[in-house]
Each structure stands twice: as structure tokens, then as C-alpha cells.
Chain A
């Protein structure tokens, strides 16, 4: 007899070997807090949306306007607001697609999609902030400021921006690497099942 068939015999026989959980205990469980990967993704994603939203919007609203921004920049500001709102709507719609009644592979793909949307949002914000900082720097350099040609200020700013971005990328990789390790492993395992 095959190993699994021996196990099946036992599986079906030993039906009452587990400790019985009473109705009262089940009621209590319903009011306990859940701690799942999806819940953590939601919390971190909201924090990311808020954090990057504040940074980008404050940069756009209160950024250096000493030099009059060209019309193109003003239009881009509005486009940026629309894109940020678009990301949030996309995130919400995809997040609602996460249900535990789906096939295992589909559920994993949906969670990964949600994660990709937030990652795209973060990358987009980093690009916008970097572009905005560098353009600000450029405008500062070509303006009539007394420090215009202070090469040290320029180099320091570029290095500081690069370091901050690298640090943030590292934090993301560590955070999500840890959070999604099991999910990615299982998803790859399912994708491998193609004969």
C-alpha cells in the first residue's frame, strides 16, 4: 500500500483526537485581532501613500517658487496630483479583489499585484522628487544667487539626495523581502507546476 494511503486510513479514523474548541472559545476568537501578511501590506501601503503623498505634495506646494515656474511645470504639477489619486484608486480596487475564497494561485497573484501598484507609486514619487530637486538645483545654479557657483553646495546636495534614496530603497527591500518571503516562495512553487 502507498504511504499516503496508509496515512489516509489513519486520517479518517482519528477524527476526534484534537482538543475540542468550545462555542464560547470560538466567539472569543471572532473578536481577536488578526495578523496576516495582507493586513501588514495594507498598513505599510497606507503609510507609504501618506508619507510619499505628503513629501511630494509639500514639495509641489511649498517648494522653491522664488523663480517663476514655467507653464510646463505648473501643468506637470496638476498631472502629478491626478496620477497620485489614480494610484490610490487603483490600489483600492485591487485591494478589494483580495478574498480568501479565490484559488490559491489567484489570491497570491492578486496580493502581488497590489504590492506592485504600491511599489510603482513609490518609484514614481522618488522619480518626481529627484527630478524636482535636481531641477530646483539647476534653476538655483543658473539664477543670480550669490552661491550660484558654489560647487561644494551642489555636490553635497546631490550626494545627500542619492544617499537618502539608497537608504529608502534598502529599507523597502528589507521590509518587503521579509514580509513577502513566504508568499513569493509559494507562488514560485505554484508557477513551477507546469509539466
Chain B
């Protein structure tokens, strides 16, 4: 190993430790036998079973999952169509559409939060609900899905669709049996991203939730501000565990392999 290599590797270890230190602390303290969460008092598993007796927390989790499900389905459909259209079609207003797509990604979240709050209240008198949160989440998820799908669709060989058409497929058939399967990995990736964004969102939600529609991040935020329970650590640990396992499984299954669809790759008979 060259000295520079060794120096860099040491630095990398420090940064990885920095990235994971809070997560390790979080997990360790979820087993802490103390109401006050920041002093170590001994080991307990108590916080995990009591988690499920906390009605507010379970309600919040349910709301979060409902919102995420709606946001994922709608934003994946709208975003995939948009990304596909941008990759494959030339039309007037394409440049403007690209800009419109990028804007939500370069706008601070708080602005999207307050603008939707004003929009819903001033125009409809709405003061926050699961529906309002869902609409807001769809709005910030669309761009991420569209960008992901566009990247894949732009790398896809248009000759594949033409080949299907030449072989007698209808436009709809070519779309259904050639285009969709080819961009499916990007659609799935976009949907996963949308789920993560929606599940984790605090800022936009904070301006659009109402009584009875608190999401998990809202519940956690108010717990942190007004008296923490070690249950927060426990639920966080469960979330970290689920996410880690999902990511590692996806990695083992090769979900992150970079590949570009083209005629050459698809020569093998489809099964």
C-alpha cells in the first residue's frame, strides 16, 4: 500500500465511523433501562413490546404507511409516464417541461410545505388531512420518479420498439410488452425512492397535517421536543433494521447492477 493510499483509507474509516456513530448510539440506547434516554442504566428489552401498546405511535405509523402507499402509486404512474415522454418524444414545450420537473428538486422543502398550506387553506378552507398530506407527497415525489425513469428510457434502444412494430405488434402492444418491461427496473427504483421520501418526510407534512393525521415523523418530532421516550429509539431501531435488510437483500439480488438495455443484451430469448 502506498502512503497516500493508506492515508486515504484511514480517512475513509473515520468518515464511515462518523456516518454510523449516531445509528449505533440509537440502537444501543433502545436497550437502555432508563426513562431518560441519554444516560446508560443497564440492559432491557422493555421498550419493544410496549411500543405496540402506544396507540398514538401505532396510529401515526398507520397514517404514514397509508400516505406513502398513495404517494408511491400516484407519483410512480405520473412520474414514469413523464420520464418516458421526456426521454422518447420531441414536442413543443419540452425544455419548459424539463425545467418544471427540476424546480421541485431545487426548491427548499419548507417552501413547498408553506405554499401547499396556503393553497389548500385559502382556496378550499382545508386545514390538514391525510388526503392533503398525500397530495403534497405526490407533488414532491413525481420529479424523482420521472428523472429516474427518464435516465433508463433515454438509454433504451428505440429500435426495440420498432422491431416489435415490424413484427406486427400494435403501438399499445409494443408499449406493453417491450417498453414497460425494459424500463421496469427504473420504475421500481423510482417507486422505492418515492416511498423513502414520503415515509421520512417531516417538513412538508408539518404544514399539511391536521388533528388525527399525524405521521410518524410528526409524532417523533413532537416526542423529541416535548419529552422523549426510549420507545422512539426502539421504533427507530426497527426502521433502521428493516431498511438495512431490504437494501442488503436488494444488493445481493443485484438490484444495483448498472446495465443498459439494448438489442445486443436482449438477443437471448426471453423467458
Specify whether A and B are partners: no
Which residues in A have some Cβ–Cβ distance to B below 8 Å? none
Which residues in B have some Cβ–Cβ distance to A below 8 Å? none
